[in-house]
Amino acid sequence: MKTQRVINPSALARPSGFSHGILTEGGRMLFLAGQTGSDASGRIAAPGDLVRQFDLAIANLGAVVAEAGGKPADVVKLNVFVRSRDDYVAKLKPLGEVYRKHFGRHYPTMALFEVSGLFQTDALVEVEGIAVLDRA
């Protein structure tokens, strides 16, 4: 049986929208490749729209987790790569709504990186992570 315990030390600033750590025991690790806001043909479905691309990227990540037999709450680590930190910050509210649509109140460990480019030139965001699934 898999267990997860959120670790948020009182010596650190209280996290908002993420957890400082998640301790897992048991289970199987699933490493999630970077997902963008691409459709089934591999094309960016919403050029210029960070919120829509984030929605699709999270949905694509969720499809991988589901195919492996998991659920969103099994994700323990997310790395979010954005082309513009300023655009991300300006759209925090709608991005948060998209996040909660997929993850509810589950907050894995997270990091946000501003990058100069992504493999797909129209991509504004890419999300990768790690999930810990129940044993088969």
| CATH for 21 | 3.30.1330.40
**Dist. CA 46–CA 49, nearest whole Å:** 6
Global pTM value: 0.93
> What is the per-residue pLDDT for 91?
98
Q: Is 62 helix (H, G, I), strand (E, B) or coil?
A: helix
> What is the per-residue pLDDT for 136?
73
Helix and strand totals (H; E) in the chain:
3, 6
> What is the per-residue pLDDT for 135?
86
> What is the per-residue pLDDT for 94?
98
Instruction: Tell me which residue range forms the domain holding 18.
Output: 3-133
> What is the per-residue pLDDT for 81?
98
- Structural domains of the chain, count: 1
| Interacting residues of 133 by C-beta distance below 8 A, sequence separation 6+ | 2, 27, 28, 29, 30, 65, 68, 69, 70, 74
First to last CA, the chain: 10
> What is the per-residue pLDDT for 5?
93
> What is the per-residue pLDDT for 38?
96
**Tokens coding 133:** 């699934």
Residue ranges of the chain whose pLDDT lies below 50: none
> What is the per-residue pLDDT for 78?
98
